[in-house]
């Protein structure tokens, strides 16, 4: 059973420093996840390097759980193409303790009508052109420590404590197309949308767990969870130079908590593993610690998540493919305050993806 224990530790390290995230789209959840697949069955004391690539395309708009299907039909949907690469370095000291660091690099393209000339309306019925903004660069770095708290014949539980550094640019800007006073095309250089910012400007605290139950040689069950506390209220970046509102800090970007919980089962044979599970991930309307003023697009995704892994010698490969089953854009604090002031239920929208593809590779430099 010793080899299974080390497999679980390797799994926790490899997958916690790779990214299969979450909340794919305008609900701007940052790069963090754990994947709970045993990708190695040997003792892994020493260093391990990993590389993860993920991609999604968000374009379906939701208010609450209801999809605004007209947005796609009218070609007014916002489209985010998200390409991210995460470099991970981990070190296992012994059978109890290990550490991991993640360095994300993001290349995100966003296209829309409303941010430029505006969506077509009755007073402006022509189909306006779609323009693009981009954000490209390094994001917020994560550093975590893991401890194997339970090590029985069938049950293994690892807990993690870490933090997120505000290393990503949370004031990324690009050019927007606007109409000038004489109707000419004018370029305006300003901050890009919150969903494609490279960072959030907050110092975050992360709690994780990874629990596994072994039914036998081939079958096991897993449950993983992650919650990131972001105590900072807003990061001071204005969404718009012209937006005015009587709600405090409604024009600033909020610094948001985020969460991920997963539950599933896996089957192992030879060097392969296949797994199937469910995942629940997103951004809450209000943070656990500190104020939650400012603008955010809170919400969650419930997904089915098939995955497969393969290990040979010091090399490990994995693919995760979360498929969205339910998407919900919930009220933020601004929506709640407007509802209170007007007596009319108010909620903004957000664009979500149908699926996400995550491909991972790890190389073990074990002693």
Residue 82 and residue 21: Cα distance in Å, rounded? 11
- Does the structure show a pLDDT above 50 at 39? no
E-state strands within the chain: 46-63, 66-67, 79-92, 97-112, 131-138, 142-151, 155-164, 173-179, 185-191, 204-214, 219-229, 234-238, 252-254, 258-269, 272-283, 299-312, 315-320, 323-329, 350-353, 357-366
Yes or no: say if 277 and 265 are a contact pair by the CB < 8 Å rule: yes
- Does the structure show a pLDDT above 60 at 119? yes
Yes or no: say if 86 and 103 are a contact pair by the CB < 8 Å rule: yes
The whole model's pTM is what?
Answer: 0.88
Q: Which CATH architecture has domain 2-366?
A: Beta Barrel (2.40)
Q: Taking the CA atoms of the chain, what radius of gyration do you get in angstroms? A: 22
pLDDT in tens, 234-260: 999 999 877 767 787 889 999 999 999
Look at residue 6 and give its three-state secondary structure: helix
Read off the pLDDT band of 34 (50, 70, 90).
very low
Q: Which one, of 274, 251, 86, 65, lies nearest residue 168 by Cα?
A: 86
| Main-chain dihedrals φ then ψ at residue 362, nearest 5 degrees | -135, 145
pLDDT at 249: 86
Q: What per-residue string of b and e applies to 308-334 under the rule 16 or more CB within 10 Å gives b? A: ebebeeeebebebbbebeebbbbbbbb
Look at residue 332 and give its three-state secondary structure: coil
pLDDT at 49: 94
Dihedral sign, Cα of residue 227, residue 163, residue 254, residue 105? negative
Mean pLDDT across 33-41 = 42
Tell me which DSSP letter residue 4 carries: H
pLDDT in tens, 311-335: 988 899 999 999 999 999 999 999 9
């Amino acid at each position: 059973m010793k080899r299974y224990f080390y497999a679980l530790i390797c799994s926790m390290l490899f997958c916690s420093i790779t990214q299969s995230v979450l909340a794919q789209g305008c609900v701007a959840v940052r790069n963090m996840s754990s994947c709970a697949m045993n990708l190695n069955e040997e003792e892994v004391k020493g260093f391990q390097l990993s590389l993860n690539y993920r991609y999604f395309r968000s374009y379906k708009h939701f208010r609450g759980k209801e999809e605004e299907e007209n947005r796609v039909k009218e070609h007014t949907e916002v489209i985010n193409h998200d390409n991210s690469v995460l470099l991970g370095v981990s070190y296992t000291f012994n059978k109890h303790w290990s550490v991991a660091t993640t360095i994300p690099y993001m290349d995100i393209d966003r296209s829309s009508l409303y941010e430029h000339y505006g969506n077509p309306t009755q007073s402006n019925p022509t189909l306006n052109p779609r323009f693009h903004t981009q954000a490209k660069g390094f994001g917020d770095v994560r550093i975590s420590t893991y401890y194997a708290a339970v090590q029985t014949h069938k049950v293994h539980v690892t807990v993690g404590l870490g933090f997120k550094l505000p290393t990503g640019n949370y004031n990324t800007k690009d050019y927007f197309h606007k109409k000038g006073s004489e109707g000419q095309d004018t370029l305006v250089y300003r901050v890009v949308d919150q969903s494609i910012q490279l960072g959030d400007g907050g110092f975050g605290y992360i709690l994780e767990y990874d629990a596994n139950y072994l039914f036998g040689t081939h079958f096991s069950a897993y449950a993983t969870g992650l919650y990131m506390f972001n105590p900072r209220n807003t990061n001071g970046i204005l969404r718009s130079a012209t937006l005015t509102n009587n709600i405090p800090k409604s024009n600033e970007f909020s610094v948001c908590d985020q969460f991920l919980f997963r539950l599933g089962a896996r089957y192992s044979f030879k060097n392969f593993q296949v797994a199937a599970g469910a995942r629940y991930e997103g951004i809450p309307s209000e943070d656990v610690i500190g104020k939650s003023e400012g603008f955010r697009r809170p919400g969650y995704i419930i997904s089915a998540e098939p995955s497969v892994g393969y290990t040979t010698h010091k090399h490990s490969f994995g693919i995760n493919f979360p498929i969205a089953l339910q998407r919900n854009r919930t009220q933020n604090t601004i929506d709640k305050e407007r509802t209170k002031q007007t007596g009319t239920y108010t909620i903004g929208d957000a664009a979500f993806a149908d699926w996400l593809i995550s491909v991972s590779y790890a190389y073990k430099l074990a002693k």
